[in-house]
Amino acid sequence: MRVFSSTCTFDYSWEEVSTNNWRKYCPWNDKATHVIAVDTLSRHVDPSTGVLRTERLITCFQTAPAWVLALLGGTNTSHVYETSIVDPASKRVTMSSTNLSWSNIISCRETVVYEPDVKASSPGHERTQFKQEAKITALCGGWQKIRTKIEEASVERFGQNAQRGKEGFEDVLEMSRRAFREEGERREQLA
């Protein structure tokens, strides 16, 4: 098993980040063009706690060498199952995802947490901490050396995709802030 982990701070409030998390795979994010569809399987708010639990199926286009597809079977379309918990009382979003495609060969279990970054925030300038961890395990039989190479290559690619994902989410956050600001200005002019 290999582990990828990353942290960063978004220059946006937890409210902005947690709201825009649902827009992560929208036309504003030109870094997520590999996402073909996001289907919500279930969504439930616990009336006593206000906690929102959502299950989604994310369909992606993943490029794989033709020889890999020929050797192992499969297609360039893959599916990821995601569960998210939004706790407004503790201001914490936790998302867990796992690959459904190729799961007999490799397992990728990712956890992402968004929380207010109280140390980096100041009044009127709130920030949100992002923590990401992915555990990648090659399940294919054979020599340990082969499994290790598969895991190392997968962690490297995961890291590249994670960086692109953060950049794309920054774009979504900026576009959202701009859209809300422009709408507020428009309403002031009409008043």
SS3 percent helix, strand, coil of the chain, rounded to 5, is 35, 40, 30
Average confidence (pLDDT) over 58-79:
79
Strand-pairing partners, residue 56, are 40, 82
In the prediction, which pLDDT does 142 show? 72
pTM: 0.89
In the prediction, which pLDDT does 104 show? 85
Strands (E), the chain: 2-10, 35-45, 52-61, 77-87, 92-99, 106-116, 128-138
Of 57 and 66, the one with more pLDDT:
57
Please say whether the beta carbons of 62 and 76 come within 8 A: yes
Residue (of 118, 138, 137, 145) closest to 129 by Cα position: 118
Average confidence (pLDDT) over 113-127:
90
Please say whether the beta carbons of 53 and 65 come within 8 A: no
| 61-81 per-residue burial string, b: 16 or more CB within 10 A, e: under 16 | eeeeeeeeeeeeeeeeebbbe
In the prediction, which pLDDT does 105 show? 85
As a whole number, the mean pLDDT across the chain is 91
71: pLDDT confidence band, cut at 50, 70 and 90? Answer: low
Share of the chain above pLDDT 70, in %: 96
Has residue 137 got a pLDDT over 80? yes
Instruction: Please state which of the ranges 46-50, 109-113, 150-154 shows the lowest mean pLDDT.
Output: 150-154
In the prediction, which pLDDT does 26 show? 80
In the prediction, which pLDDT does 120 show? 81
Has residue 68 got a pLDDT over 70? no
Average confidence (pLDDT) over 80-97:
98
